[in-house]
Each structure stands twice: as C-alpha cells, then as structure tokens.
Amino acid sequence: MTNFEHTRRQFVLPDGQLYFAGNSLGPAPKAAAKRVQQTIEAEWGSMVVKAWNTAGWMDQPDKLGNRLAPIVGATPDTITTGDTLSIKVFQALSSAVSMRPERRVILSDSGNFPTDLYMAGGLVNLLQSDYELRVVEPEGIMHALSENVAVVMLTQADYRTGRLHSMKDITQRAHEVGALTVWDLAHTAGAIATNLDTNKVDFAVGCTYKFLNAGPGSPAFIYVAPHLIDTASSVLSGWLGHARPFAFEPEYQAAAGIRHFRVGTPSVLAMASLDAALDVWDEVNINEVHSRSIELSELFIVEMAKSCPSLTLASPTDPYQRGSQVSFNCDYGYPLMQALIAAGVVGDFRAPDIIRFGITPLFLNEDDILKAVGIMQNIVDSASWDKPEFHARKAVT
C-alpha cells in the first residue's frame, strides 16, 4: 500500500502555503537539490567531459523513460525523455502523420491546450498540400473520426476543467477508421492510471514538471507503441537519435528502438532532478494515487458546495470523468485567486473565469482541503478579494 504520509514528508512544502498548484508545477522533492548538487560536484565538477562515459549521462534519457513506464502503464523500452512537451507534440504528430500518407486531416478539439494546437498548425503550414487541422468540440470527437483522419491528437484531461476524454473508446474508434492516436498526458501522467499499453495508444507525450514534480522546465517524454517503434520515423532526426552518433556520418540512420526518438544533447542537470523525483514513485502505486485523488476531490467538492455555494463547479461531477483537479467558474476568479494566494492557498487562474485547484495526494491531505475551504469561505463572504492589489494582472496567472 502506498503510504501517503511518507510521500508527503519527501517534499519541500513551504511554511504557510497550502499548495494546490501541483498540476502546474509540482513542489521540489527533498532529494532533488542533493541529487543536482551531487551531479554538479561529483560528475560535472570532477570528471568534466569524461562524465558522458563514466557517469552514464548518455543512457540517462532512456533509463528515465523506463522509470516512467510503470507510472503510465507502458512496457519497458517504449519511452524516452528529453526536450519540452511542445517539441514532443510536434515529433509524435509529424511521425504519426507520415505513417498515413494518403490522409490529410489532423483531428483535435477546442478544449486542447493552445501549444498543442499551435504546434499542429505549424506542422500543417509546413506540409501544405491540403493538410488540415480540424478542431471540433470535445464532445464531437467520436463523431468526427472518419476515414480521412490521419491522426487524432488529444489531451486526456482538459487543462481548465479536468474533463477526461475516454482514451480507450477514442483510441478504439480511431483504429476502426484506420487513424492513429497521439495522447497528451500533461495532466494525467502521475495523476491517474493511463494504461497506455492496454488502451492500445499509438503515441503519447507528456511533461514531468506537473504531477511528476521534476522541476521547472524538466524533460518531457514520448511513448511509442511497441509495434510502431521501429517503423515510425522520428522526423526530428537529431544526431543523438542516430545509430552511431560518434561515427559522424553524413547520412542519417535511425538508432534501433525508442532511442531514435531522442534529438540532441540531454539536459543532464534537469535529468538528475527528474531521477530524484522518480525515487518518490518507487513505493507508490498509481492506482492508489488515483483512488486517493478521488477521495480528496470529493471532499473538496462537498465542502465547497457547503461553504462557497456561489462558486459553480466547472469540473465534471463524476470522478471517473475528471482528472486530478477541481475547477470553479467565478466572475471575479482572477482577484479571488490573488487573494487566496496572499492568504496561503496557492491555486491558479485560467482565463476567462476559471480557478483551478490541483489535487495531488503525494503531498496533500484532508486537513489541507478543510483549511483551504475555510480560508476561501472567509474571503468570499467578506468580499476581501475586491482590493486594487488583487486586480493587478501578473505575467503568469
């Protein structure tokens, strides 16, 4: 059984903060600072360039992929890490599109995170020749899956409301019409059981700085289904995806296995931080994280309905239709969130009117939920959010 009191003790949780933004940037695992410092001193500092060979830096991206595999339900050697999620979205999508050369439609939904749609738009502009990014309402995806769709690209949990797409049903329908799937796990990796292998997903991508707590700008990851790995081309044919990077051959030849989805030099210090963040997961079961997330979310929703009835739940009420966050619509959401942050309840705001609370069982408990709701009730009842300082817009909301 996962011991959630033990996992909580493994994070740096600043005094006076009830932290509900772990779905945006996870808090620092205590081991991260030590691990990064060790990498700087004992590896970079003392071995310098020799460390590529002696400290295992070259294999780190794939080793970390294997540590991520059980968390997202993947078999070993199907995941590699590196770059940022936007890049991995482009890489997975371009690879998938090239495997359906007779089809011209990339299908996505209007609830998708903007960067995913921007990257897809960039790919369509590059390809030209009547390629189309077709964006439909989230509820319309099943209906829009037709035989001219090359790839359906979706984020499993909506970043504003937490609404989940059915990965299983959509993937199955996509395959029935001969399309491939690219799933973005930004808001589900480390939050719910994604079961990539059993859901027969073709490509998946995700970041490690949200529910996986590896630190700001930590490496992204890409998963490719075992039966596609060797036929899929990476498109971003960087030298570290080459079969023999240090032969410096003029012609590109893809490395065997998931390794050819690597692009360039790994960010070793960020990888060290990711490695430390994954230590927390050694004794954690993702199914238990998901059940615990549901318990905490249900408590939060019930208490909010009692204490702050004027806020409207924006997330689905059915816990199995929801990722690991709870959102509310509120006309004065921006100043309310600023007032909450000033009072130590750290969530975030997403335009036009959503306030979001990430529910992260590795370090949140019932006590945090009850305290946060109490603070929120005070602010709403007294309208103390309505002060000029809480209305001033910051660059990152």
Ligand X SMILES: *Cc1c(COP(=O)(O)O)cnc(C)c1O
DSSP state, residue 11: B
Contact status, residue 110 vs residue 138, Cβ threshold 8 Å: yes
Q: How far apart are CA 375 and CA 380, in angstroms?
A: 9
Cβ 154 to ligand X, closest distance in Å?
9
121 part of the interface to ligand X, by CB under 6 A: no
Judged by CB under 6 A, which of 186, 224, 340, 345 binds ligand X? Answer: 186
Judged by CB under 6 A, which of 103, 165, 187, 350 binds ligand X? Answer: 187
Looking at the Cβ atoms of 270 and 379, the one nearer to ligand X is 270
The verdict on whether 261 is a catalytic residue reads no
Contact status, residue 157 vs residue 163, Cβ threshold 8 Å: yes
Looking at the Cβ atoms of 207 and 268, the one nearer to ligand X is 207
With H, G, I as helix, E, B as strand and everything else as coil, classify residue 369. helix
Integer distance in angstroms from the first to the last C-alpha of the chain?
36
Taking 3-state DSSP, the helix, strand and coil percentages for the chain, each rounded to the nearest 5, stand at 45, 15, 40
For residues 86-112, b (16+ Cβ closer than 10 Å) or e, as one string? bbbbbbbbbbbbebbeebbbbbbbebb
Please state the φ and ψ torsions of residue 333, each to the nearest 5 degrees: -55, -40
The verdict on whether 244 is a catalytic residue reads no
Contact status, residue 97 vs residue 123, Cβ threshold 8 Å: yes
Judged by CB under 6 A, which of 97, 196, 207, 222 binds ligand X? Answer: 207
Strand pairing of 312-313 and 325-329?
antiparallel
Q: How far apart are CA 209 and CA 203, in angstroms?
A: 20
String of contacts with ligand X for each residue 277-316, x by CB under 6 A:
----------------------------------------
Looking at the Cβ atoms of 159 and 357, the one nearer to ligand X is 159
Looking at the Cβ atoms of 90 and 281, the one nearer to ligand X is 90
Q: Considering only 7-15, 49-57, 126-134, 180-188, which stretch makes contact with ligand X by CB under 6 A?
A: 180-188
Q: Considering only 82-90, 172-180, 222-230, 336-344, which stretch makes contact with ligand X by CB under 6 A?
A: 82-90
Neighbours of 397 (CB within 10 A): 12
118 part of the interface to ligand X, by CB under 6 A: no
Of 184, 202, 275, 368, the active-site residue reads 184
Tokens describing residue 381:
């009842």
Q: Considering only 181-189, 284-292, 305-313, 375-383, which stretch makes contact with ligand X by CB under 6 A?
A: 181-189
Looking at the Cβ atoms of 87 and 99, the one nearer to ligand X is 87
113 part of the interface to ligand X, by CB under 6 A: yes
Of 90, 209, 221, 363, the active-site residue reads 209
Contact status, residue 112 vs residue 136, Cβ threshold 8 Å: no
Give one DSSP letter per residue of 276-332, joined into a string: HHHHGGGG--HHHHHHHHHHHHHHHHHHHHHH-TTSEE-S-SSGGGB-SEEEEE-TT
116 part of the interface to ligand X, by CB under 6 A: yes
Q: Considering only 29-37, 110-118, 192-200, 226-234, which stretch makes contact with ligand X by CB under 6 A?
A: 110-118
Contact status, residue 234 vs residue 241, Cβ threshold 8 Å: yes
Cβ 113 to ligand X, closest distance in Å?
3
Looking at the Cβ atoms of 75 and 321, the one nearer to ligand X is 321
Contact partners, residue 176, CB within 8 Å, separation at least 6 = 145
85 part of the interface to ligand X, by CB under 6 A: yes
Looking at the Cβ atoms of 85 and 170, the one nearer to ligand X is 85
Cβ 223 to ligand X, closest distance in Å?
15
103 part of the interface to ligand X, by CB under 6 A: no
Of 30, 63, 113, 279, the active-site residue reads 113
184 part of the interface to ligand X, by CB under 6 A: yes
The verdict on whether 209 is a catalytic residue reads yes
159 part of the interface to ligand X, by CB under 6 A: yes
Q: Where are the alpha helices (DSSP H) in 55-140?
A: 60-72, 85-98, 114-127
Judged by CB under 6 A, which of 2, 38, 66, 86 binds ligand X? Answer: 86
Site residues, ligand X (CB under 6 A): 84-86, 113, 115-116, 155, 159, 184, 186-187, 207
Q: Which residues form the catalytic set?
A: 113, 184, 209-210, 356
